[in-house]
Amino acid sequence: MKILGIESSCDECAAAVVEDGRVPLSNVVATQIPFHAVYNGVVPEIASRKHTEWIYAVVKEALDNAGIGPGDIGGVAVTAHPGLLGSLLVGVSFAKAFAWARNLPFIAVDHMLAHLYACQLHHSPQDPLSGAAYPFLGLLVSGGHSIICRVDDFDDITVLGTTIDDAVGEAFDKVSKYYGFGYPGGAAIDKLAQTGDPEAFRFPLPNLYKGDHPYDLSYSGLKTAVINQLAHFQVKKGSAGPQDIAASFQKTAVDILLRSLFRAVEDIGLTTIVAGGGVAANSYLRLRLAERKDLRCLFPPLELCGDNGAMIAGLGYRYLVRGDRSPLSTTASARVRAFKRSYP
């Protein structure tokens, strides 16, 4: 069955067609980055307006690239939460109209569960091994969320730890903004850090390990420490370059994630880790996890780390085959779903 997936939660206007929850037949991502770059951040009003202008063409391209027409679609899935409300509403309204007009099943999905599902999609026809059997540990790292969880099924996650303040991607974006490294910050810092010395600056790791929440994360302290370094750094120019700031910050940001993740591995005893979200594209994070030969670490291909319609369509298919449908009265919501939590 071919599912159309639509994603408009932030600044990517995206649609894809996925066959049987596994094989992307098309994956169109129209990025709004140039429109937000001048402001060094996403402007919600601009984002929703661009989605409104682009969504028809993006969905049409996704169908064309898959070589199919609307009549070949078996269901429509869309991100309904979390995200920017105005942007989400564009995708949700479009998907509902599409489904209603063609009398197709409509499925509203959670964006974070979809990021986690990206690894279950076939990366290429030559890759029959893609995907992971449940249960596994999930590492969800994006611009808005940082979650370490136990994953028992496509829609059954238990949050073990999460950030108590900023998300990891947000820290990349803010540091990049203050230093003028570029927008969006994650990719800019990742690139700059390639030539930097990760030991040039020592930034503190948050002291969160009080016993109760061993897998929680915190990024506001690191963000402030790196930004405070700016004045000092400008005075001392010459001894260290921007690439050293980038590499030192990136190392600490990844150390914070891995400290909690590896604690969870030890305590929970699951040795498969599935990553998802924009920060899963980070080359240093990938490198550090690849060093752990005792673990099986799965990352989506780069084009499926950031926001895309394929992960939405894939996840939507799972709900559909289970017999789930969303009513057309479903609306968008900016907030993250209340996942189960487990604090040992």
Q: Which of 52, 68, 13, 87 is nearest to 309 (CA)?
A: 13
Instruction: Count CB atoms within 10 A of the CB of residue 112.
Output: 25
Cβ closest to Zn ion, residue 21 vs residue 143: 143
Q: State the Cα–Cα distance between residues 64 and 17, nearest whole angstrom.
A: 10
Q: Are 56 and 154 in contact (CB under 8 A)?
A: no
Choose which of 75, 161, 186, 314 interacts with ligand KG4 (CB under 6 A): 186
Q: What is the closest distance, in whole angstroms, from the C-beta atom of residue 246 to ligand KG4 in the complex? A: 10
Q: x/- contact string, 6-25, with ligand KG4 (CB under 6 A)?
A: ----x---------------
Cβ closest to ligand KG4, residue 149 vs residue 320: 149
Q: What is the closest distance, in whole angstroms, from the C-beta atom of residue 152 to ligand KG4 in the complex? A: 23
Which of these segments, 39-47, 64-72, 87-95, 272-280, binds ligand KG4 (CB under 6 A)?
272-280
Q: Are 18 and 317 in contact (CB under 8 A)?
A: yes
Positions 123 through 142 that interact with ligand KG4 (CB under 6 A)? 142
Q: Which of 324, 298, 309 is nearest to 8 (CA)?
A: 309
Q: x/- contact string, 269-308, with Zn ion (CB under 5 A)?
A: --------------------------------------x-
161 contacts which partner out of Zn ion, ligand KG4, none, CB within 5 to 8 A by kind? none
Choose which of 79, 252, 260, 282 interacts with ligand KG4 (CB under 6 A): 282
Which of these segments, 131-139, 179-187, 256-264, 317-325, binds ligand KG4 (CB under 6 A)?
179-187
Strand partners of residue 339:
none
Cβ closest to ligand KG4, residue 105 vs residue 201: 201
Q: Are 102 and 73 in contact (CB under 8 A)?
A: yes
> What are the residue ranges of helices labelled H in 119-211?
168-179, 185-193
Choose which of 21, 91, 161, 184 interacts with ligand KG4 (CB under 6 A): 184
Query: What are the residues whose beta carbons fall under 8 Å from the beta carbon of 269, sequence distance 6 or more?
Result: none
300 binds ligand KG4, rule: CB under 6 A: no
Please count the residues of this chain forming the interface with ligand KG4, following the rule CB under 6 A: 20
Q: State the Cα–Cα distance between residues 324 and 287, nearest whole angstrom.
A: 39
Q: Which two tokens stand for residue 168?
A: 């990891």
172 contacts which partner out of Zn ion, ligand KG4, none, CB within 5 to 8 A by kind? ligand KG4
Q: Are 59 and 18 in contact (CB under 8 A)?
A: no
279 binds ligand KG4, rule: CB under 6 A: yes
Q: What is the closest distance, in whole angstroms, from the C-beta atom of residue 46 to ligand KG4 in the complex? A: 16
Q: State the Cα–Cα distance between residues 261 and 256, nearest whole angstrom.
A: 9
Cβ closest to Zn ion, residue 2 vs residue 81: 81
Q: Which of 206, 126, 209, 137 is nearest to 171 (CA)?
A: 206
Q: What is the closest distance, in whole angstroms, from the C-beta atom of residue 73 to ligand KG4 in the complex? A: 25
306 binds ligand KG4, rule: CB under 6 A: yes
244 binds Zn ion, rule: CB under 5 A: no
Q: State the Cα–Cα distance between residues 15 and 92, nearest whole angstrom.
A: 12
- Three-class SS state of 303: helix
The owner of tokens 């559909």 is 320
173 binds ligand KG4, rule: CB under 6 A: yes
Q: State the Cα–Cα distance between residues 149 and 133, nearest whole angstrom.
A: 15
The contact set with ligand KG4 (CB under 6 A) reads: 10, 142-144, 169-170, 172-173, 184-187, 190, 277-279, 281-282, 306-307
The contact set with Zn ion (CB under 5 A) reads: 142, 307
